[in-house]
Amino acid sequence: MPKIHSEVRTSEIITIKQSSHKTIYLGMTKKWMLLPLLIGMTGIFITAFNHQPLPSVVPSPLADTLLYPEEKHFRNIQQLTFGGDNAEAYFSYDGQWLVFQRTSAKDGIPCDQIFVGKVPAPGAPFQYKMVSTGKGRTTCGFFTKDGKHVIYASTHLGGDSCPPLPDRSKYGNKYIWPLYSSYDIFMADLNGKIVKRLTHSKGYDAEATLSPDGKKMIYTSVKDGDIDLYIMDLQTGKEKRITNTPGYDGGAWFSPDGKKIIWRASRPQTPEALQSYKELLAENLVAPTQMEVFIADADGSNAHQVTQLGQANWAPAFMPDSKHIIFASNHEYKRGFPFNLYTMPADGGQLQKISRDKGFDAFPMFSPNGKQIVFCSNRNNGGTRDTNIFIADWTEE
């Protein structure tokens, strides 16, 4: 397990310890019969899109594995983290580094902080260090074009402690996300020094990624009264609101060719649903249990819905050719899980199921050269609730 002390300095390098877990690099399935707990994903996501609380123990044993036989697109899969909740791992522009968020209460990280680490050679351990302040809660790290900085959202200006989670019992125990008003987006160097504050609005500003040329930032904000997408010119600070339909718009990415954007969105379909959405938003909350994938031109024009699957379809990204997309979905399962990865043409067409974990697969991103994919999963967690980062070679079959 990674040994992370309660006081982590940004200059410290944290290395996977080999005493209890070997770094795993496999091109074939290895199975252990265990009874896993299938609730996970940064501590909250497996229950995320189910309207009722899930049982904490699955009633039948499942195989713990790195690679399922049906996962034909993955080769030489390697588990990078061991323990805790590790999510949103994204490549640097040169494909040499990853930035991700991590929670591990037993290691002194009570809520998500941002880490960076160099993509290891096959079989080598993954080394990483914290680059956020260690205060508040952080989310959505992304490298800048120069490879020397990261952007991320943080609540640290609102206080040193982790902001409280919502009391779900007040809302019928349905899954809700907090939109912490103290979230703003910052740029920091790889030693953890914040060099620039990028947003200044009083409400939620988060979920930022950058354009292929590194000049524009797309992010989510509630500054104009709804949960919408904005594009900011990083040099001038000028920005434009690009969504205007009531509902949650977030998790946006540019296509590799810079011509399109993709994101997840909820669109309340009835007056009652819209009223419920607005009531939660007034309390800085959102219930993202019904989401579909949308695509638009890079300036926000010609926006249209590309999935019609129902339930929660999210964490979308373009594939390297800018003509296909990959995303996470639970649409096959009325109980709300598993979440698996799917691909399809960006203009609609045949859906292909890519991953097969029985709990959670999400946050896919391809390396800039298209040869590798990184994603986060509950697989191979030894029957715990841990979510870890995995990297694999991608093959078209």
Mean pLDDT computed over 357-378: 97
Query: For residue 114, which phi and psi values (nearest 5 degrees)?
Result: -95, 135
Helix (H, G, I), strand (E, B) or coil at 118: strand
- Cα–Cα–Cα angle for 152, 156, 158, rounded to 5 degrees: 130
Query: Sign (positive/negative) of CA torsion 213, 216, 221, 227?
Result: negative
Helix (H, G, I), strand (E, B) or coil at 362: strand
CB under 8 Å to 334, separation ≥6 — which residues? none
Mean pLDDT computed over 285-302: 96
| Cα–Cα distance, 179 to 49 (Å, whole number) | 17
Bond preceding residue 61 cis, omega within 30 of 0:
no
User: Which pLDDT belongs to residue 94?
Assistant: 98
Neighbours of 333 (CB within 10 A): 14
Tell me the Ramachandran region of residue 207: left when phi exceeds 0, alpha when psi lies from -120 to 50, beta otherwise. left
State pTM to two decimals.
0.86
Domain ranges across the chain: 14-394
User: Which pLDDT belongs to residue 397?
Assistant: 73
Residues 80-97 pLDDT 10s: 999 999 999 999 999 999
User: Which pLDDT belongs to residue 311?
Assistant: 95
Which CATH architecture does the domain made up of 14-394 adopt? 6 Propeller (2.120)
Confidence of residue 42 (pLDDT cuts 50, 70, 90): very low
Report the C-alpha dihedral over residues 225, 228, 229, 235, rounded to 10 degrees: 10
HSE (side-chain half, CA atoms, 13 Å) at 282? 6
What's the chain's average pLDDT?
86
User: Which pLDDT belongs to residue 64?
Assistant: 87
Asked whether the predicted pLDDT for residue 176 surpasses 60, the reply is: yes
